Amino acid sequence: MVRHKNYIWVIIIFFSFSIFGCATIPTLERPIEKSRTFKASFEELWQALIPALTSAGEFVTVAEKDSGFITFQKVILIDRLREYALMPSGWTCHNIGQVSQLVLLINVVTTKPDEKHVTVTINSKFPEIRCGGFWDISWPIRTFSTNGKLEKEYLNKIEALFPNKSYKWLGEEEK
């Protein structure tokens, strides 16, 4: 009789782990690149920055040239959230009511390390959303971290306009 109770506990523990699991947030192999330094004057970069950032229909909410600060919004489908966010394996985000898209808030900060270079830093924030786990159990509202793909896409768009970037941290010579 005692052995029978032990088996029941083993089965209960096994099913508990298979249902609720030990969902871990995936880690990245390398740090997220959120900023790049471009070889351009501030005026040149600023003139090309907003068209580069809004080429896919994004909506600019703030653009302050004096401070070098831009805030804009990007709409992504909720089905594509895994493409841009670090999410635990087994988690899904689906249409909640009539919500099928998310509005991401993205901040761009430009700084001038010197007269010939401008550094662009991009920070994105995902809105809070309710996502489900294994077997589509309803989970509390949470916010996901970025995986760096979004920031890289925008930095690559800017780099296409100013391909001569400077890697001071590598000690490379100016081009």
Q: Which of 97, 99, 95, 114 has its CA nearest to residue 166?
A: 114
Q: Which of 41-55, 75-89, 132-146 has the lowest mean pLDDT?
A: 132-146
- pLDDT tens by residue, 155-172: 999 988 876 555 555 555
pLDDT for the residue numbered 62: 94
Q: How confident is residue 175, by pLDDT bands cut at 50, 70 and 90? A: very low
Q: Which of 43-52, 85-94, 150-159 has the lowest mean pLDDT?
A: 85-94
Q: How confident is residue 96, by pLDDT bands cut at 50, 70 and 90? A: low
**How many Å apart are CA 55 and CA 46, to the nearest integer?**
15
pLDDT for the residue numbered 154: 92
Q: How confident is residue 153, by pLDDT bands cut at 50, 70 and 90? A: very high
> Strand 117-125 relative to strand 129-132: parallel, antiparallel, unpaired?
unpaired
**How many Å apart are CA 47 and CA 30, to the nearest integer?**
32
Domain positions in the chain are 24-168
> What average pLDDT score do residues 105-129 get?
89
Q: How confident is residue 66, by pLDDT bands cut at 50, 70 and 90? A: very high
Q: Which CATH number, 3.40.50.720, 3.10.20.600, 3.40.50.970, 3.30.310.80, labels domain 24-168?
A: 3.30.310.80
- pLDDT tens by residue, 33-65: 999 999 889 998 998 898 888 888 888 999 999
- pLDDT tens by residue, 98-108: 567 778 889 99
Sheet order of strands, 59-64 included: 35-39, 117-125, 101-114, 69-77, 59-64
